[in-house]
Amino acid sequence: MHDSNSFLQLVNSSFRFRLFMLMKLPSAFFAGVRVVSASDERCDVSVPFKWFSQNPFRSTYFACLAMAAEMSTGLLAMSQTWKRQPAVSMLVTGLEAAYHKKATGITIFTCSQGREIAEAVNLAVTTGEAQMIRILSRGVTQSGELVAEFYITWSFKTKKI
């Protein structure tokens, strides 16, 4: 069994994870994408409407919304693949989006499919076959109004030594 606690401790350590974002995901860092909370089953990520994340229509640029949505799914995936033996690679293979409301404030993206992600990674490890999973991240305003829905397809495959 894989223990994802050490990765989740890193994610929930504000300073250490922000430093990681600055070094590895600078566009998300400067856009203001932040982890609100992360557990084995759920991840909440926020993105604000501000100068760096804006579009010409006075709302959050779609790519910044996509970054936050992808991060909410990707952190759950990374928690299952980080330091795993045998090593497992992960890759986004698809993205679908539906926009419902103009994003003019903080948008919080939530993915609640941590268990399904863990099952897909475990299946990739036990079978040696690549596994694909389509994961939903829903973005809402602070008052709970739906802004956007993203379906991100991830592929998991054990790495050959």
Q: What is the pLDDT of residues 79-123, one digit of tens each?
A: 899 888 899 999 999 999 999 999 999 999 999 999 999 999 999
- Condensed to tens digits (0 to 9), the pLDDT of residues 113-161 reads 999 999 999 999 999 999 999 999 999 999 999 999 999 999 999 987 6
Instruction: Tell me the DSSP string of 11-42.
Output: HH-HHHHHHHHHHH-HHHHHHT-EEEEE-SS-
- List strand residue ranges (DSSP E) for the chain, in order: 34-38, 43-47, 88-99, 107-111, 131-140, 146-158
Return the CATH number at 120. Answer: 3.10.129.10
Residue with tokens 């809402």: 140
Number of domains within the chain? 1
- Condensed to tens digits (0 to 9), the pLDDT of residues 34-78 reads 999 889 899 999 999 999 999 999 999 999 999 999 999 999 999
Domain extent, residue 39, equals 5-158
